[in-house]
Amino acid sequence: MVGKPGLDGHSNGAEQIAVRARDSGMDVTYDGIRMTPEQIVASAIDEDAHVIGLSILSGSHLPLVTEVVERLAKAGRGDIAVVAGGIIPDEDAEALKAKGVAAVYTPKDFELNRIMMDIVALADPEAKAA
C-alpha cells in the first residue's frame, strides 16, 4: 500500500513508486493524497497489506509516520512493515527506524528496482529472484 498522509499534495514520487510496484507484479493500493494515519491503517488492514509505503514531503514525517506505526501496533498489526520516503534528514531517518520503520528513502535513493527488491524482501523474506 502507498499512502500520502497529512496535507502534502505532492504525489509524483508516491505515484512513481505505486506504478513501478504494480509493473513489478505487486498488488498495490493507493488511495490518493491527504489521508489521515487512521485512514491509512484502516485501508492497509482492509486490503491485508504486507508493506505500507508513506510518502511525505511536507516536513511532518516524524509525527505522521510515528502515528501510523503506533496505530498498526495498537490494532495488532505490527507485522505490516512500514517504509517512508520524502525529504527526510538523516537524523530523522534514524529516529523513524528506532520507532520501527523498516526503511527510509530520500531523493538520493532513485534506483527504483532496488527499492522494489527491498519491498519484496519486507513482504516475503523467503522470496527469491527468478
Question: Residue 125 above 80 pLDDT?
Answer: no
DSSP letter, residue 30: B
Which residues touch 63 (CB under 8 Å, ≥6 apart)? none
Domain that holds residue 35: 2-123
In the prediction, which pLDDT does 110 show?
84
CATH of the domain at 89: 3.40.50.280
Q: Does any domain span residue 52?
A: yes
Query: What are phi and psi for residue 116, nearest 5 degrees?
Result: -60, -40
Rg (the chain; Cα; Å): 13
In the prediction, which pLDDT does 130 show?
54
Cell of 26: 505487486
Question: Residue 124 above 90 pLDDT?
Answer: no
Domain count, the chain: 1
Place of cell 501496533: 73
In the prediction, which pLDDT does 128 show?
63
Q: For 28, what's the count of Cα atoms within 13 Å in the CB-facing half-sphere?
A: 22
| Segment 90-122, tens digit of pLDDT | 999 999 999 999 999 999 988 999 999 999 999
Least confident of 9-18, 59-68, 82-91: 9-18
Q: Does any domain span residue 130?
A: no
| Segment 26-79, tens digit of pLDDT | 999 998 899 999 999 999 999 999 999 999 988 899 999 999 999 999 999 999
Which residues touch 18 (CB under 8 Å, ≥6 apart)? 2, 28, 30
Q: Does any domain span residue 6?
A: yes
